[in-house]
Amino acid sequence: TEAGETIRATLFPGDGIGPEIAESVKQVFNVAGVPIEWEEHYVGTEVDPRTESFLTWESLESVRRNKVGLKGPMATPIGKGHRSLNLTLRKELGLYANVRPCNSLPGYKTRYDDVNLVTIRENTEGEYSGLEHQVVRGVVESLKIITRQASLRVAEYAFHYAKTNGRERVSAIHKANIMRKTDGLFLKCCREVAEKYPEITYEEVIIDNCCMTLVKNPGTFDVLVMPNLYGDIISDLCAGLIGGLGLTPSCNIGEGGICLAEAVHGSAPDISGKNLANPTALMLSAVMMLRHLQFNDQADRIHNAILQTIAEGKYRTADLGGKSSTSDYTKVVCDHI
């Protein structure tokens, strides 16, 4: 990105509290002078046959064109004849890696103060194949699919991430002692990629043992890479260590270099429209997007302002035990930029 250039990025404010927290991001971006022009897309009110979901075709085209975007929470409407919004996005945009840096926040006390790890989740296959059927009455089966292509792709991303982010170790999480062929293939791919990164330590950790170690001593982990379901579980477990999904940024890496940053918490309809939501996860996700665009200066300033605001502890939203409104908290972050 050249100096002075304006970047177009897609914004999905999402549902519930989404629009409010997206507004917070716009404000901090303005104050930090981020040269981004948003293309805003809302979830549609009817199923778009081209996406088989409430997502509009235009919104997906916008991400494909801009290759960068930010997404708030999206609750899939209940009913038949359409696909989940989140799963459709992953599928249609080939979002193959979900990346979640997970760091203890100075000043926000949990039972852990030593978390500094990154989970990298394969995001397209595994237990999420959607292939299930009843064999005979009372016996159902579900297919977990592991491919060499998707495993190599996410492993490559994990090692590349480790190298370019000054990380020292990649742990592949698996249950290959039981699922020898599927998780075995995943490990084989990780080992192949590991050979190309001799400067990064590579290890393999069985998922049950990984979860036990995470709750005892999360400081022992650095970068974790894993198949879809393990990633779903472990990334939320890790979020819990630092205080929950309201504090955890995430970003999805997709085919053709797409980066779709995303707050992974829910849309909290109970507090929506009340100026009570915590915009931190979306703001931190937006920071990940800025780093992807190499707007490092703005990313650092916004990131530090958020950390400072939380560390000071005076302005916090209700989910963190504080009394601030979304807009007051956002204003303090803006003041700190």
Contact set with its own copies (CB under 8 A): 110-112, 127-128, 132-135, 137-149, 175, 178-182, 184-185, 207-209, 211-216, 229, 232-237, 239-241, 243-245
Q: How far is CA 55 from CA 14, 43, 76, 82, 286, in A?
A: 11, 5, 10, 10, 21
Q: Which is nearer to its own copies, 273 or 321 (CB)?
A: 321
What's the closest the beta carbon of residue 37 comes to its own copies, in angstroms?
A: 35
Could you tell which of its own copies, ligand IPM, none binds residue 86, using a CB distance below 5 to 8 A set by kind?
ligand IPM
Beta bridge partners of 204: 172
**Which of 21, 93, 173, 264 is close enough to bind ligand IPM by CB under 6 A?**
264
Q: Which of 122, 222, 232, 319 binds ligand IPM (CB under 6 A)?
A: 232
Closer residue to its own copies, CB minimum distance, 222 or 319: 319
Q: Minimum distance between the CB of residue 212 and its own copies, rounded to whole angstroms?
A: 4
Smallest gap from residue 264 Cβ to ligand IPM (A) = 5
Q: Which does 200 bind (CB under 5 to 8 A by kind): its own copies, ligand IPM, none?
A: none
Interaction of residue 177 with ligand IPM, rule CB under 6 A: yes
Determine the 3-state secondary structure of 249 from DSSP: coil
Number of residues that bind ligand IPM (CB under 6 A): 7
| Minimal CB distance residue for ligand IPM | 232
DSSP 50-65: TTTBSS-HHHHHHHHH
- Residue 207 within binding range of ligand IPM, rule CB under 6 A: no
Strand partners, 262: 71
How does strand 258-262 pair with strand 251-254? antiparallel
CB of 90 to ligand IPM, least distance (A): 8
Q: How far apart are CA 11 and CA 25, in angstroms?
A: 10
Least Å distance, CB 262 to its own copies, is: 15
Question: Using alpha carbons only, what angle is made at residue 24 by residues 22 and 29, rounded to the nearest 5 degrees?
Answer: 95
Closest separation between CB of residue 38 and ligand IPM, Å? 23
* Residue 60 CB partners (closer than 8 Å, separation 6+): 51, 89, 92, 93
Of its own copies, ligand IPM, none, which one sits near residue 327, judging by CB under 5 to 8 A according to partner kind?
none
Number of Cβ within a 10 Å radius of residue 335: 12
CA distance 324 to 135: 54
**CB of residue 334 to ligand IPM, shortest distance in Å:** 29
Structure tokens at 70: 């930010």
Nearer to ligand IPM, 107 or 130 (CB): 130
Site for ligand IPM, residues 83 to 102, rule: CB under 6 A: 84, 86
Q: Please spell the DSSP secondary structure of 255-296, one letter per residue.
A: GGGEEEEE--S---GGGTTTT----HHHHHHHHHHHHHTT-H
- Residues interacting with ligand IPM, by CB under 6 A? 84, 86, 177-178, 208, 232, 264
